[in-house]
Amino acid sequence: MNRYLPRSARTCLALATILALTGAVTACGPGGGGDSSSGDNLTMWTFKQSHVAALQKAAESFKQKTGVGVTVEAITPDDAFIARVQAAAQTRSLPDIFEVHTNGDDFTFGAAGLLEDLTEEATWTDRYLPSVAAEGTVTERYYKQSQEKGAKSAGIKLNQRFSVPLTIGTFGIVYANKERLTAAGVTESPKTWEDFVAALEAVRRARPQDGGLSIGFQAPTTGMEWLMQPMAYGKLGKAGFAGLFSNDPARNWTSANGRSVLESYHQVTPYWMPGTQTLTIDDADLAFAQGRSSFVVGGTFTLAFLSQNGMNPENIVTFPVPSPRGGTVPELSLAPFALTGLSVSATTKNKDGAVKWLEHLAQTDVASQFAKDALDVPPVNLGDDPTGTLGPVLGAMIGSFGSGVEAYNPGDTTHQPPSYDAAVVARSLMELTPLKKADVPTAAAGLQKIIDGYWAGK
Amino acid sequence: MTTDVPTSPGAVTVSRGRTGRGRGRRRYQPREVAWAYAFVAPAIVLFAVMGVYTLFWGLQLSFVQWNGLTPTWLWVGLRNYTDLLWASPVFSPPVRAAALNTVWVMIAAPLLTVVISFPLALALNRARRFVGLLRSVYFVPYITTGIAVYLAWQYVLEPNGAINTLLGALGLGSLSQPQGWLGNPDTALPTLIVIMVWSAVPVATLLYLTGLQTIDPALTEAAQIDGASWWRVNLSVVWPLLRGITAVIVLLNLRDALQGFQIFLIMTDGGPGDHTNVLGLQTYRLAFQSELAPTLGLASALGWMLFVAAVLVAFVHLRVTRERR
């Protein structure tokens, strides 16, 4: 067809084609996604939508102070965030700063060379609560874990710091509807697992339609990590709990200890809210907020969601998942750990500005404001009376944190085999409860088979 | 017009078609050939980048252990394939369970689609009043299928949803599912298959309707004159004539059943537990839901096995239908 076009038109057409092609190829290349930043504007990616507005507010004061702007972008859900980082890593179009899962994503990203080591730069960590100040640092136990075959963090070095904390908290907190509890004759928070089961029974008897316990089993780890594991820790203590995840038949799930934990966990089976196995975490929380269930298990972060969805905080009773009677840790408490942290990209053109942004967020007034805006618990030490700074809800939550060997720390994963995928293990556990497709010995054997596979490095 | 493969640049010969001005071959000038290449180049480059390179890269990925982040990957040869098929106690059991679920979907979805859409097309073809309205109504599931509809189905299927309520109102409460239709491991997969069929029937019906309208009425009239009943005419005359369309419908649904996972991801995410996991979803999980474990190679290997399975299924299906013809 080109033979019928005038020469000038042909030339223009060919030029346009080449330009279009060049544009397309350029768009596929590094920086084409508009993620690169200039020195006076930083880009930050987060997987928490609820943090965006709070971070943007903090960015305003940061710009006034330093002249450096911060553009915050939320990429949700977590799967999409990870896929975006994977793609950006290949095209070298990473942002300047990431919000990461502490002691998880940060170590994996760091091992891949995507993050700056902040050991020298993070000079403000004394502002954090002592129990979480070192989170994001490769300690001896995480380094040892990274040496195992198939470890996700293979390549990290001892004492490297890949993130500083942004939010802290814990999970394993039971939220109960106060009015319904009282109406069913339960006037005190359950102190033991047996009391908890009795409370479930009392409320279910009083309210057969909506007296159940909801949990977002579509994310199967919720049942295992938020409810069963704290109870197991209380029942067996730290060493016994770690043994459950070993390949030692005398201590693992197929042992007497393992079966005993599963039997206790199985006691809640009659009390699940109908259909809880199909719910997402948000759906389960909504069911509680809307009165379709009377109990929900969550974390420190759950209260904000319930409040945002119309649940009156004064009508909520919270208590940590309790230890069974006669358990090794009778007064079980929950240790806080860094839920999310901040990391600086290795490809940033303004490392100094990025580090200053991290330090800005760790200032007491900025962290407090961020916490109030995001309804999340900050890692900064707010003194003996956090309630005065953060208000009663967040303040009370900070006051309930425990420490030491009596406190279960969900963030401590050193007992897990390398490449451990909690979702796979938790799906197997669902066969016992709530699905009732396996009895205790079958469920124990199923769990152990998967865990043995991880230990074998497959 | 047919174009011969050039033996060397600048020596392209074109044989003109019968409608051309002449039957002789004409040699193009090098400059004209260069122009031709210039115009074809964008398509070739795009295909090379998006097609060939991606395929090659994906194949290579199936032989390595990698999490998508590290600058290097670990070459493991065929281990990803053996781990998925039998060797790994971690990865092979879910793949086997997902394969079994996929097989059920591959059998049930195309079969039910054909069983429902063919009679529906016959009925719509006979309709004399409100033809446009009826055809539009039956096509609604196709144009509304998507995330919103899957979420709507979730509400309908939950413990207090419309189906359980309806069953209760009809005095059939014993058939209702207290845990919801997607919460009971025994009903979750069949329920998803029904929704897949609900989504597939409109296109299948449309294809059958198109086929029915191409059948010469003389054929069916002749059969009727010979005394064949309505059923006999449709089963012995119409059905064989539409075998080609049935093959296309079955093939499309087999492909969806083998590789599609949108409905499983949105409605159950493979749950409850792992009871509605299918191979497409398992591939997605290995690639994007393994918390940065180095399983991208496993995902790629599973993707390639699915590709081979799809090619085999299509080949066998086409051979079978061709032999019948």
B123, part of any domain: yes
Digit-coded pLDDT (tens) for A18-66: 444 444 433 333 333 344 455 689 999 999 888 999 999 999 999 999 9
**Terminal alpha carbon distance of chain A:** 59
Determine the pLDDT at residue A383.
Answer: 78
| Same domain as B89, residue B54 | no
Digit-coded pLDDT (tens) for A362-419: 999 999 999 988 888 899 988 777 777 887 767 767 776 887 878 898 888 888 887 7
Compute the half-sphere exposure of residue A432: CA atoms within 13 Å on the CB side of its CA.
25
Determine the pLDDT at residue A26.
Answer: 38
| Same domain as A438, residue A354 | no
Confidence of residue A194 (pLDDT cuts 50, 70, 90): very high
Candidates A277, A434, A452; nearest CB to B89: A452
For B173, the 3-state DSSP assignment is: helix
Q: Report residue A120 as tokens.
A: 């020298």
A359, part of any domain: yes
Digit-coded pLDDT (tens) for A307-360: 878 898 889 998 889 999 999 999 888 888 999 999 999 999 999 999 999 999
The nearest CA of chain B is from the CA of A184 a distance in Å of: 24
Determine the pLDDT at residue B135.
Answer: 72
Confidence of residue B218 (pLDDT cuts 50, 70, 90): very high
Candidates A3, A86, A458; nearest CB to B69: A86
| Same domain as B250, residue B119 | yes
A289, part of any domain: yes
Per-residue 3-state assignment (H helix, E strand, C coil) for chain A: CHHHCCHHHHHHHHHHHHHHHHHHHHHHCCCCCCCCCCCCEEEEEECCHHHHHHHHHHHHHHHHHHCCEEEEEECCCHHHHHHHHHHHHHHCCCCCEEEEECCCHHHHHHHCCCECCCCCCCCCHHHECCCCCCCCECCHHHHHHHCCCCCCCCCCCCCCECCEEEEEECEEEEEEEHHHHHHCCCCCCCCCHHHHHHHHHHHHHHCCCCCCEECCCCCCHHHHHHHHHHHHHHHHHHHHHHHHCCCCCCCCCCCHHHHHHHHHHHCCHHHECCCHHHCCHHHHHHHHHCCCCCEEEEECCHHHHHHHCCCCHHHEEEEECCCCCCCCCCCCEECCEEEEEEEEECCCCCHHHHHHHHHHHCCHHHHHHHHHHHCCECCECCCCCHHHHHCHHHHHHHHCCCCCCCEECCCCCCCCCCCCCHHHHHHHHCCCCCCCCCCHHHHHHHHHHHHHHHHCCC
Residues of B in contact with A220 (CB under 8 A): 271, 273
- Rounded distance, CA B71 to CA B74, Å? 10
| Same domain as B305, residue B176 | yes
Q: Does the beta carbon of A83 lie under 8 angstroms from any beta carbon of chain B?
A: yes
> A53 near A373, Cβ under 8 Å?
yes
Q: Does the beta carbon of A457 lie under 8 angstroms from any beta carbon of chain B?
A: no
B180: nearest CA partner in chain A:
A275
Determine the pLDDT at residue B25.
Answer: 66
Q: Is the pLDDT of residue A227 over 60?
A: yes
| Same domain as A437, residue A376 | no
| Same domain as A301, residue A254 | yes
Determine the pLDDT at residue A23.
Answer: 42
A69, part of any domain: yes
DSSP class of B236: I
- Rounded distance, CA A259 to CA A440, Å? 6
Determine the pLDDT at residue B13.
Answer: 42
| Same domain as A183, residue A147 | no
Mean pLDDT of B121-127: 87
Provide the domain count of chain A.
2
| Same domain as B147, residue B35 | no
Digit-coded pLDDT (tens) for A236-245: 999 999 999 9
Please judge whether B88 and A458 are an interchain contact, meaning their C-beta atoms are less than 8 angstroms apart: yes
- Tokens 């239908």 locate to B321
Q: In which element (H, E) is residue B10 found?
A: none
**pLDDT over 90 for what percent of chain B?**
58
| Same domain as B207, residue B287 | yes
- Enumerate residues 173 to 202 of chain B having a beta carbon within 8 A of any beta carbon in chain A: 178-180, 182-183, 185
Q: Does the beta carbon of B67 lie under 8 angstroms from any beta carbon of chain A?
A: yes
Determine the pLDDT at residue B90.
Answer: 85
| Same domain as A369, residue A285 | no
Determine the pLDDT at residue B140.
Answer: 75
A409, part of any domain: no
Q: The domain spanning residue A124 has which CATH number?
A: 3.40.190.10
Please judge whether A277 and B91 are an interchain contact, meaning their C-beta atoms are less than 8 angstroms apart: no
| Same domain as A183, residue A163 | no
Q: Does the beta carbon of B3 lie under 8 angstroms from any beta carbon of chain A?
A: no
Sheet of B13-15, strands arranged across: B2-3, B13-15, B25-27
Rounded to 5 degrees, φ, ψ at A297 are -105, 130
Q: Does the beta carbon of B69 lie under 8 angstroms from any beta carbon of chain A?
A: yes
B75, part of any domain: no
Alpha-carbon dihedral A117, A121, A127, A131, rounded to 10 degrees:
20
Determine the pLDDT at residue B313.
Answer: 87
The nearest CA of chain A is from the CA of B315 a distance in Å of: 34
Q: Is the pLDDT of residue A152 over 80?
A: yes
Determine the pLDDT at residue A7.
Answer: 53
- Domain range spanning residue B52? 2-58
| Same domain as B122, residue B15 | no
Q: In which element (H, E) is residue B274 found?
A: none
Last residue of a domain, one of B58, B75, B100: B58
The nearest CA of chain B is from the CA of A148 a distance in Å of: 13
Please judge whether A421 and B290 are an interchain contact, meaning their C-beta atoms are less than 8 angstroms apart: yes
Q: Is the pLDDT of residue B102 over 80?
A: yes
Residues 6+ apart with CB under 8 A from B87: A458, B79
- Rounded distance, CA B83 to CA B304, Å? 14
The nearest CA of chain B is from the CA of A119 a distance in Å of: 21
- Domain range spanning residue A48? 41-168+337-399
A258, part of any domain: yes
Cα Rg for chain A, rounded, in angstroms? Answer: 25
Mean pLDDT of B224-244: 91
Rounded to 5 degrees, φ, ψ at B13 are -115, 140
Provide the domain count of chain B.
2
Residues 6+ apart with CB under 8 A from A340: A48, A51, A99, A100, A101, A102, A165, A166, A167
Please judge whether B288 and A105 are an interchain contact, meaning their C-beta atoms are less than 8 angstroms apart: no
Residues of B in contact with A456 (CB under 8 A): 89
**For all residues of chain B together, what is the average pLDDT?**
86
Determine the pLDDT at residue B136.
Answer: 76
B65, part of any domain: no
A107, part of any domain: yes
Determine the pLDDT at residue A18.
Answer: 46
**Following DSSP, what letter does each residue of B146-159 receive, concatenated?**
SHHHHHHHHHHHST
More confident residue, B133 or B172: B172
**For all residues of chain A together, what is the average pLDDT?**
88
| Same domain as B151, residue B52 | no
| Same domain as A234, residue A137 | no
The nearest CA of chain B is from the CA of A420 a distance in Å of: 9
Rounded to 5 degrees, φ, ψ at A385 are -125, 75
| Same domain as B97, residue B26 | no
Q: Does the beta carbon of B274 lie under 8 angstroms from any beta carbon of chain A?
A: yes
| Same domain as B119, residue B9 | no
What is the per-residue burial (b if ≥16 Cβ within 10 Å, else e) of B137-167?
Answer: ebeebbeebeeebbeebbeebbbebebbeee
Please judge whether A220 and B271 are an interchain contact, meaning their C-beta atoms are less than 8 angstroms apart: yes
